Amino acid sequence: MKTKGMIDNRQNGLVGDALKAHITKGSKLSIAAAHFTEKAV
């Protein structure tokens, strides 16, 4: 799986699939995540 840009678990690919494709035994992983939700009324 080739990933480019944002991975959103919906239209732009699954985070789990991207991780499985790129992480190998002995890899180190750091994750920084932010979640923003805005509701238009």
Who wins on pLDDT, 31 or 3?
31
Token pair, residue 24, equals 């190998």
Cα dist. 29→9, 26, 32, 35 in Å?
Answer: 19, 10, 10, 19
Write the CB contacts of 13 (distance below 8 Å, at least 6 apart in sequence). Answer: 1, 3, 7
pLDDT band at 26, cuts 50/70/90?
Answer: very high
- If one counts the domains in the chain, the total is 1
Structure tokens at 36: 């923003």
Q: What is the pLDDT of residue 7?
A: 78
Range of the domain at 33: 1-41
pLDDT tens string 30-39: 877 776 666 6
Which has more pLDDT, 34 or 20?
Answer: 20
**Is pLDDT above 70 for 12?**
yes
This prediction's pTM: 0.49
